[in-house]
Amino acid sequence: MVGIVGFGKMGEAIARGLLKRGIEVGTFDVSVDRRDLAVKLGVKVFESNVELVQESYVIFLAVKPQYFNKVCEELEGKVTHCLVVSIMAGVKSQRICRCLGLDRVVRVMPNTPALVGEGALGVSFCGDFTAEEKEKVLELLEVAGVVVEVDESLMDAVTALSGSGPAYVFLFLEALEDAGVNLGLSRDVARLLALQTLKGSVRLFEEKGGLFREYLNMVTSPGGTTIRALKVLEESGFKGLVMDAVEAAERRAKELG
């Protein structure tokens, strides 16, 4: 059984993907509502984290970082028989190992599109793992989306880019929607056009490949509408603002760690 300590949004995302693969999943969560949801999904709910880990060969630590100390009090020395995978943002492997009495741990940074199997996940193997163990962990994670292995020193960067990234995307989509409404389109039409433009652009890039700049040039004609819009974005420092925002998120991830 794969155990999930904490059944929040990310725990739910992992569980949904595993269940689709026919993998047995168990969990414990302090929230009655989250436990009820787990039961509806077909997840086995345990009475405590201790009981959960006793029945699991892989454990996902999916609690909020501020609750990790509480989990440590319950599970210190009790998870040495299984692979431990943490999806807690900002909590370093050294702290996890020290608190739980481990000499290795897998750190993962997922994002919310994992809820529909389209997540972007960064993974770090902290400690000694066999090739077979790595393969097993990656196989479990791939149910949630695309997995990229990075050094743990870059995990805060992954958190800032893809972990927080959906918020940047939805903010941009909201801005496009509002722009359409400002120009006279109904909100429903503006939302549909904005969303399909994003989806279509991603699909085009995935099928054709190359560099993002090539697709900017593809849309931009001399003296046309697009170059006029891009000029405004460049003058406002759009790219620089995005880069600064991601850097700010990385700094905060380091502070939380």
Residue finishing a domain among 152, 174, 199: 152
Amino acid (one-letter) located at 50: V
- Asked whether residue 31 falls in the same domain as residue 101, the answer is yes
Amino acid (one-letter) located at 21: R
111 is written with which tokens?
């994002």
Task: Tell me if 157 is assigned to some domain.
Answer: no
216-254 CB burial, b ≥16 within 10 A, e <16: eeeeeeeeeeeeeeeeeeeeeeeeeeeeeebeebbebbe
* Number of domains composing the chain: 2
Q: By residue range, what is the domain housing residue 187?
A: 165-256
- Asked whether residue 144 falls in the same domain as residue 227, the answer is no
32 is written with which tokens?
């009655």
- Asked whether residue 66 falls in the same domain as residue 126, the answer is yes
- Asked whether residue 128 falls in the same domain as residue 215, the answer is no
Task: Tell me if 20 is assigned to some domain.
Answer: yes
- Asked whether residue 82 falls in the same domain as residue 203, the answer is no
The model carries a pTM of: 0.89
- Asked whether residue 130 falls in the same domain as residue 170, the answer is no
pLDDT in tens, the chain (257 residues): 999 999 998 899 899 989 988 999 999 999 999 999 999 999 999 999 999 999 999 999 999 888 898 999 899 889 988 999 999 988 999 999 999 999 999 999 999 999 899 999 999 999 999 999 999 999 999 999 999 999 999 999 999 999 999 999 999 999 999 999 999 999 999 999 999 999 999 999 999 999 999 999 999 999 999 999 999 999 999 999 999 999 999 999 888 77
3-state class (DSSP) for residue 87 = coil
